[in-house]
Amino acid sequence: MKSSKLLVTMAASLVVAFASQAADSASISGKAMFDGTAPKQKKIKTDADPKCAEMHADSPLLAEEVVVNGNGTLKNVFVYIKSGLEGKSFEPPKTPVELDQSGCHYIPHVFGMMAKQPLKIKNADDTLHNIHAMPSKSKEFNVGQPNQGMETIRTFAEPEVMVHFKCDVHPWMSAYVGVLNHPFYSVSGEDGTFTIKGLPAGEYEVAAWHEKYGEQTQKIKVGDGEAKTVDFKFSAKSE
């Protein structure tokens, strides 16, 4: 009798352990494809600031508005769960997301964060920068950083896709952040891929946003522990 109860208890424990491992373990991955002839990245003139020009004397600063990778994919596409998480709440991380000003441009160019999560803005350059964020759903801010090594912490109170950053000192500087009420987002990199992990099982609307080619959406259903693939294709014709 005791051995039977032990076996039942062990079996129940295994079920609970398996369920805890499977819960919130779905993932969505894919590529941001580009259709058509890849436009050349424009060289940015930085002569307005001698220090910026000096930083790029040997290698010109290139615009990041459209970056087509060598494998025909598109960089800097913000991919996120647009709907399907209603009724769920997620605690914003205390660890800050970082936005750096290095070489007189923003790094990264496109990124994501949660509402109320700290944003650490850094100035790695020995020249004046100002960070002008222009949200429509949170308080706008414009912060000057005249000295190298300066850091500023800010937050966005409300979700918004997307929030634009610019520098009023250097008009070519531009960046975008997707502010969400959940942590399920990704940005396509130099191979054009993206991955969103740790999703609860469910049906979702997945959106892919690009600053020049707009936003696309697709619907997808994932189960516990399931990995699904969804690709997006952008074209210069969609301008």
pLDDT at 9: 46
- Alpha-carbon span 11 to 9, nearest angstrom: 5
Collapsed DSSP state (helix, strand, coil) of residue 38: coil
* Full pLDDT tens readout for the chain, 239 residues: 445 554 444 444 444 444 444 568 899 999 999 999 989 999 999 988 999 999 998 889 999 999 999 999 999 999 999 999 999 999 999 999 999 999 999 999 999 999 999 999 999 999 999 999 999 999 999 999 999 999 999 999 999 999 999 999 999 999 999 999 999 999 999 999 999 999 999 999 999 999 999 999 999 999 999 999 999 999 987 55
pLDDT at 11: 45
Total Cβ atoms within 10 A of residue 172: 16
Q: Write out pLDDT tens, residues 134-185.
A: 999 999 999 999 999 999 999 999 999 999 999 999 999 999 999 999 999 9
Q: How is 78-147 classified by DSSP, letter by letter? A: EEEEEES-TT---PPPSSPEEEEE-SSSEESSEEEEETT--EEEEE-SSS-EEEEE--SSS--EEEEE-S
- Alpha-carbon span 207 to 185, nearest angstrom: 9
Phi first, then psi: what are they for 10, rounded to 5°? -65, -40
The tokens describing 39, both together, are: 């436009």
